[in-house]
Amino acid sequence: VSELPPRQALKALVAYDGSNYWGFQMQRGQPTIQGAIEATLRRLTGEQIRIRYAGRTDRGVHAAGQVIAFESGWRHPVADLERGLNALLPQDIAVRQVEPVAEDGFHPRFSARSRLYRYTVWTAPWRWPLNARYTHHEPRDLDLALMNQAAGLLVGDHDFASFGRPTQGESTIRSVRRAVWQRQAEHLLTFDIEANAFLRHMVRTMVATLLEVGRGHRTPQEVLATLEARDRSLAAPLAPASGLCLISVTY
């Protein structure tokens, strides 16, 4: 009777510059974060490992604290697995806090209580090559107070059907805990939004809609009407992926 080696459940934080990837989720024939991590795990462990993850970030979106989990028969210290992964992964992907999963049945997506995303906007009249990979360039002054007034109307338990679609046939109700614009420097704005979960494209659609408010092309009252209409065609088109980063996931 052959015995499979004992497999342990592991989890890790993943940070990546998403500029050169077609999003997190595996796509045949395209570079993806999942594809890069699974290929590296295979090289290190010899195992065909399928990873689970907290958020399916889109093409070009970045992450500081994506969460993954997987099972492996790795029998050396997990610190060696972490070192090995970082040595072999492409330079624009890194893992940290590789550790055994304590909880039974932990799933990075289904066990998550909330996600925090940050969207960064560069508002100077000139392009800025030193942050262009991580910002969206909106070359004009924006009315921060008005944008925050509109953002505040999106906080709470709402049906966000106007701002995104569910990945499967689920509900479009989400619970947004916080949605705040802040000025980080003279020409640098950030939008932090935390929710129990997000619809597909929800953050970038909200950002694009709030940028219209900042430009004076839409009022906060119109944002509220857009939310209440539950009609995807009323919100603005997607803001660019480069400005978006998955900051952290809370369990």
d(CA 103, CA 111): 10
Residue with tokens 């004076």: 216
- Decide if residue 126 touches its own copies (CB under 8 A): yes
Looking at the Cβ atoms of 115 and 158, the one nearer to its own copies is 115
Residues 70, 19, 234: CA angle, nearest 5 degrees: 95
- Decide if residue 128 touches its own copies (CB under 8 A): yes
Could you confirm whether 157 is annotated as catalytic?
no
- Among 10, 16, 36, 116, indicate the residue that binds its own copies (CB under 8 A): 16
Residue with tokens 């510059």: 17
The one segment of 14-22, 48-56, 174-182, 222-230 that binds its own copies by CB under 8 A: 14-22
The one segment of 87-95, 102-110, 161-169, 230-238 that binds its own copies by CB under 8 A: 87-95
> Taking each helix axis from N to C terminus, what angle separates 33-45 and 78-88, rounded to the nearest 10 degrees?
120
- Decide if residue 230 touches its own copies (CB under 8 A): no
Residues 54, 109: contact at Cβ < 8 Å?
Answer: yes
Residue with tokens 């949605």: 179
Provide the token pair at 94: 């890194």
- Decide if residue 234 touches its own copies (CB under 8 A): no
List the one residue out of 10, 2, 56 whose CA is nearest residue 33: 56
- Among 49, 142, 245, 249, indicate the residue that binds its own copies (CB under 8 A): 245
> Which sequence positions are flagged as catalytic?
58
* Interface residues toward its own copies, by CB under 8 A: 15-17, 62, 64, 86, 91-96, 125-130, 132-134, 245
